[in-house]
Chain A
Amino acid sequence: MTDKSLWQRFSDYHDELFMAPWRAGIAREARSEEDVLVALLFLEALGIPGPADYYALELYPDLIEAFHRWHQRMGMETFPEAGVCC
């Protein structure tokens, strides 16, 4: 037995009805946006001068994990440039 109120259960059911059909599509869109952002921020690591580098330096520590996942999705199991991530 759950201690959730009837309203809470209805609300959960209702919101799940809203989310379920689109969960996959939205996650894909979010991932593709993240891919663009990460690519933009880490252009320098790839040897290309990045126009956003100066403005985004402080984001590097927060995004290094995302960058690791990104290069793996792009087909590089380990990143070739030393000292960037893995």
Chain B
Amino acid sequence: MPAFLLIVITLVAFYFAYRFYSRYLAEKVYRLDPNFVTPAHAMRDGVDFVPTHKHVLLGHHFTSVAGAAPIVGPAIAVYWGWLPALTWVILGTIFAAGVHDFGSIVVSARNRGQNIGTLSGKVVSARASTLFLLIIFFLLTLVNAVFGVVMAILFEKNPGAVVPALIVIPIAVFIGQWAYRMGRSIVIPSILGLLLLYAAIPVGQAYPIYVDGLAEAVGLSVRTTWIILIFAYTWIASRLPVWVLLQPRDYINGQQLIVALVVIFLGVLIGWDTISAPAVNEVAPNSPHWFPYLFITVACGAISGFHSLVASGTTSKQLGNETEARFVGYGGALGEGALALAAILACTAGLGAAGDWNAAYADFGAASGGALGHFVTGTGHFLSNLGIPATLGATFAAVVVITFAGTTMDTGVRLQRYILEEIAELAGVKALVGRVNLLTTLAVLIPLGLALLPGGDSSGGKGFAFGRLWTLFGTTNQLTAGLALSIIGVWLLARNRNPLAALIPLVFLLFMTTWALLLNLGDFFAKGDWLLLVMDAAIFVLAAWLVVEAFTAFNRERRNPSAGAEES
């Protein structure tokens, strides 16, 4: 089948979804009101609350929610065949992510721009804010652990990507200095920065950087050495002021994201590649089954709770008109779905003949441990369709994922520091409150411990632990989405509106997540993976807690709707 056909099918589905389903949501479910005074106007302060043009807001929202996760998840999930992965990406984006992201903006905007954590305590129950804190703690721990491993795998397999990945740092620092110290437009510096970054790719290939010598000197494996170096960098990066490194890095990611999407789709069109990989793959009997693991493996790209944090944290505070929530929220979800589609294509059509694909996806360990390598190889192939040597194209793809993952870890460690401090305050551990260096060290050491779990190393089980860590990350991400959907559902019910648009994805997600957690429990027990077993059990308790909270809140609102009580 021509790969381009999948692009056409997906984009046509997304077009009709935006045209009809998002309009239904806007008119009948969320009932957007063009005359509603959004918090950006009502509470305008020039800092948090600023009315922002809808195109700028979409750009900001989309680049904030899209990162390495919608690439890694689909790159693993095509193990079960491209059809289940693509079906979940399309249906999940249209009926779950769109509702979730759009709804999170609307509910937050209708509640003075409050974030999901505050809203969970207010709309669901007081206990739910503690639940939120704990889910986020696990989410961030797993995010930082998996992205640490992601970067280490890519550095180990693509030593030519080290120089361009390092060049990003001075480029970002320069752009930050130019913008804030010089106070001038960054258009030209940012274009030059991007060109410099791409110029560094052939340089990196000519001068690949290996850490084998260092690894041998300290008696560790190459991947372990990279993981430790990456976490050491993250400690430093997360202690710098945001404008120095994080903001310009994040901005460079946005540019890279657009470039990557354009070149992948263009490469597929020009090369007219066909997909030889099976639509549905007959997997080994001892492998995780696609039902329910597919729905946990592909979180970002189908539905991701992380989006609700962005939607309610910053986007809702900058919404100029309530009707624009549809364009920004639903449109952002579709953009993320398109990125997941690009990852699916790279890991199927990009890998060439069926024999090559079968070798790459021989078992779940190879699929998860090699997922990024497959994406990198596939993207390199698409770039070769555009006349760029495949090895350069592969390094380009590796750099894209590394810069995404690096920025996510920087943000993740910062957020984890705040969460740890909040948990310490709640638990009365005074020794941690206000101790920024100690909190940062803890925020680094906890995921570092997980990232160094045996099995994730090349000398161990071919990255099998990485696949397990990834599914655990997926469960926490889906629980965050479940909490946001509960808030949206309760909010709708309180206004006597049909809550099914939020309720159906909520029930689906909670069912799949708890089922996958239960299956994982048995698996970890059988293998004696005690640390993962404890984490899985803890996340399972949170999932059960969420089910109880959501059910109680729905029941309460069904009997006694409290419409309008909290609206500004």
Contact = CB atoms under 8 A, between A and B. Distances in A.
B357 to A, nearest CB: 38
A14 B187 contact: yes
A47 interface: no
23 contacts: A11-B187, A14-B186, A15-B179, A16-B53, A17-B251, A18-B179, A18-B247, A19-B179, A20-B56, A20-B57, A20-B318, A21-B247, A21-B250, A21-B314, A22-B242, A22-B246, A23-B48, A23-B50, A24-B47, A24-B48, A26-B241, A26-B247, A27-B47
A20 B241 contact: no
Given A20-B318, A22-B247, A25-B242, 20 more contacts: A13-B56, A14-B185, A14-B187, A14-B190, A15-B185, A17-B59, A18-B179, A18-B186, A18-B190, A18-B247, A20-B57, A20-B60, A21-B63, A21-B250, A22-B242, A24-B47, A24-B48, A24-B314, A26-B242, A27-B47
A16 to B, nearest CB: 5
Q: Which 6 A-B pairs have the closest CB atoms?
A: A27-B47, A24-B48, A22-B247, A21-B60, A11-B185, A11-B187
B301 interface: no
Interface of A: 10-11, 13-29
A20 B50 contact: yes
A31 to B, nearest CB: 9
Nearest to A28: B47
A78 to B, nearest CB: 23
Nearest to B246: A22
A15 to B, nearest CB: 5
Given A15-B185, A16-B56, A21 B64 contact: yes
Nearest to B49: A24
B52 A15 contact: no
A10 B56 CA distance: 11
Nearest to A32: B241
A22 B59 contact: no
Contacts of A27: 47
A49 to B, nearest CB: 23
A25 to B, nearest CB: 5
Given A15-B187, A16-B53, A20-B52, A29 B241 contact: yes
B489 interface: no
Interface in B221-237: none
B305 interface: no
The dominant DSSP class at the A interface is helix
A22 B310 CA distance: 12
B47 to A, nearest CB: 4
Contacts of B190: 14, 18
Nearest to B52: A20
A13 B186 CA distance: 11
Interface residues of B, number: 29
Contacts of B64: 21
A14 B188 CA distance: 10
Contacts of B248: 18
Nearest to A21: B60
B289 interface: no
A27 to B, nearest CB: 4
B243 A29 contact: yes
B117 interface: no
Contacts of A23: 47-48, 50
A17 B251 CA distance: 8
Interface centre among A10, A11, A17 (most CB of B within 10 A): A17
A17 B247 CA distance: 11
A19 B57 CA distance: 11
A29 B242 contact: yes
A22 B56 CA distance: 13
Contacts of B314: 21, 24
A11 B63 CA distance: 18
A37 B50 CA distance: 27
A66 B185 CA distance: 29
B344 to A, nearest CB: 28
B55 interface: yes
B254 interface: yes
Nearest to A26: B243
Contacts of A14: 185-187, 190
Interface-centre pick from B60, B248, B318 (highest chain A CB count, 10 A): B60
Which of A10, A22, A27 is the most central at the interface, judged by chain B CB atoms within 10 Å of its CB?
A22
Contacts of A10: 187
Nearest to B61: A21
Interface string B310-322: 0000100110000
A79 to B, nearest CB: 24
Nearest to A17: B59
A49 B251 CA distance: 44
Nearest to A29: B241
A33 B205 CA distance: 42
B149 to A, nearest CB: 27
A60 B190 CA distance: 39
A22 B55 contact: no
A19 B251 CA distance: 9
Contact of B55 (A13, A15, A18, A26): A13
